[in-house]
């Protein structure tokens, strides 16, 4: 039992400075990519999230949002360099969250921004906690965030990413009364609806094989359960990604594969989720460096 506790404890990975620089750079690019160019909403008929507390309709005014977006571009460059994260990341996190809340206040709720906003807020809270803990006046000055503080921010991002997937898995079980796996063959109906939406949105014909997928899922219920249940298990076990580099990489690859299958079969794209898995869990630069080191080690042994 003690051995299992040692393996299952949370580990703050000792990321190198260049790894975290790349994480921040890719994270800044992702936040910029997901930040809308314009906001076409000037009302919030059904307030959602932050809109319950604040009137966000002023974001729909181009003369207001355009300068804020330009300021966000500067803030993201500062964040990527590790400069004044409480100011730079704080501005972008607030703008992303507000834009997402206003969009979700129109009567239909989307999920493409939610987890990215939560990850940005979690990182900001980690920076704030370190500033308070160490007595720094980080909110008031432009300063390079210390390496340890950057590591805490990365760990906070991983924690929120894992929590998001665990919450998604439990939501499936709670909403279905624990019968999600048993009811999986019914997903064929959802596929038909999703494919019809894509077809009528873009008026493009779907590939022939894609049109056959709902029928195959309905005709082979046990095969459907076998194919989709691993995705649920990966979501519920996403917290294990906090136990170290290897676990994070393996779980990240599994969840990324789940998203890619959903994109191809169900026409559901979670662009931000996929990139956050690549940035924080899979950590491609580290994976490449590790592979090259092993290859060079094998070459040296062969020569020796």
In the chain, what percentage of residues exceed pLDDT 90?
54
pLDDT of residue 25: 95
Q: Which of 254, 248, 237 is nearest to 290 (CA)?
A: 248
Question: Average model confidence (pLDDT) for the chain?
Answer: 84
pLDDT per residue as tens digits for the range 150-164? 999 999 999 999 999
Of 148 and 252, which is predicted with more confidence? 252
pLDDT of residue 141: 43
Read off the pTM: 0.86
Asked if residue 138 has pLDDT above 50, the reply is no
pLDDT of residue 160: 97
pLDDT per residue as tens digits for the range 190-226? 666 666 665 555 556 666 656 666 667 666 677 778 7
Asked if residue 136 has pLDDT above 60, the reply is no
pLDDT per residue as tens digits for the range 86-129? 999 999 999 999 999 999 999 878 888 999 999 999 999 999 99
pLDDT of residue 210: 60
Identify the band that residue 43 occupies on the pLDDT scale cut at 50, 70 and 90.
Answer: very high
């Amino acid at each position: 039992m003690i051995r299992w506790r040692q393996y299952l404890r949370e580990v703050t990975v000792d990321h190198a400075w260049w790894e975290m620089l790349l994480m921040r750079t890719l994270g800044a690019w992702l936040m910029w990519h997901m930040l809308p160019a314009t906001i076409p909403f000037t009302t919030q008929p059904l307030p959602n999230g932050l809109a319950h507390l604040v009137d966000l309709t002023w974001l729909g005014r181009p003369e207001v949002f355009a300068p804020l977006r330009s300021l966000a571009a500067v803030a993201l460059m500062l964040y990527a360099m590790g400069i004044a994260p409480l100011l730079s990341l704080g501005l972008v996190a607030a703008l992303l969250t507000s834009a997402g809340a206003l969009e979700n206040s129109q009567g239909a709720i989307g999920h493409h921004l939610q987890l990215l906003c939560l990850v940005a807020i979690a990182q900001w809270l980690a920076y704030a906690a370190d500033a308070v803990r160490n007595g720094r006046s980080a909110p008031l000055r432009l300063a390079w965030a210390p390496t340890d503080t950057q590591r805490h921010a990365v760990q906070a991002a991983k924690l929120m990413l894992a929590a998001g997937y665990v919450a998604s898995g439990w939501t499936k079980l709670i909403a279905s009364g624990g019968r999600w796996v048993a009811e999986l063959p019914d997903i064929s109906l959802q596929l038909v609806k999703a494919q019809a939406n894509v077809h009528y949105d873009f008026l493009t014909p779907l590939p022939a094989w894609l049109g056959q997928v709902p029928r195959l899922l309905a005709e082979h219920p046990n095969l459907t359960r076998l194919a989709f249940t691993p995705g649920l298990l990966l979501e519920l076990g996403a917290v294990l990604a906090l136990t170290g580099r290897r676990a994070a990489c393996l779980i990240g690859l599994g969840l990324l594969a789940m998203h890619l299958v959903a994109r191809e079969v169900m026409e559901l794209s979670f662009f931000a989720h996929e990139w956050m898995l690549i940035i924080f869990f899979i950590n491609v630069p580290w994976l490449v460096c590790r592979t090259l080191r092993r290859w060079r080690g094998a070459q040296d042994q062969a020569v020796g």
